[in-house]
Amino acid sequence: MRFPLWVRIAATLFAALFVTVHWHYDNAVNFLWLSDIGMFGAVAALWLRSRLLASMMLLAVALSDGLAWTLDFVFGLVAGWHPFNATSYMFDPAVPAIVRGLSLFHLFLPAMLVWMVHRLGYDRRALAAQTALTIGLFWVSHAMTDPARNINWVFGPGRPQSAVPGWVYLAAMMTAFPLMCYVPVHLVLIALRWDRRGAPPARRARSEVR
């Protein structure tokens, strides 16, 4: 299933602009955020027409961006309150306007990935693959970034925490995040039978037997 060329080009140009701007502001560590990985992975899936990659990226952002980030931004916009403490930077004048503007991709990426997976079909292997990717990404974020940045919240929920040892919190994040954010989306997509969309006849037959 091919995606329109203009969509692939537009997404690629956006990703290129995103990288250029963040690199200019010495903010390349931002690329470790799971949402950014989701954006880059979505662009790759557009060109590769990869069911697995598109499915993984949908799991990555469906609830964290499509629900949590969006609600936090809307509440911040309407009431000045950030229930998840995820988007306060969007209202900080110290953050360059272009950086904040580019961050609006969080609002549209989940919908784009739903559209992509609807066309390609959902790959059941995405749950295990995205869980493994997330565990590795969380470990790298914890081992190689400044706790003050709290990339992927690996040092605390919203801000660094000190209630429990860091390794205990990290292990809990590695376990809880896939269970809370990936498994529900995976089950919904299976219930909707999106795993049968776009699948080769032989694969559909095996799925029906199971």
Q: Which helix (H) or strand (E) holds 167?
A: helix 166-177
Task: Return mean pLDDT, the chain.
Answer: 93
Closest to 14 measured CA to CA, from 43, 35, 38, 41: 43
Task: Report if pTM > 0.95.
Answer: no
pLDDT at site 210: 47
Instruction: Please say whether the beta carbons of 195 and 207 come within 8 A.
Output: yes
Task: Write out the two tokens for 201.
Answer: 């006849």
Q: Which residue has the tokens 């953050």?
A: 95
Residue 200: pLDDT band by 50, 70, 90 thresholds? Answer: low
Q: What digits encode the pLDDT tens for the residues 120-179?
A: 999 999 999 999 999 999 999 999 999 999 999 999 998 999 999 999 999 999 999 999
Residue 198: pLDDT band by 50, 70, 90 thresholds? Answer: confident
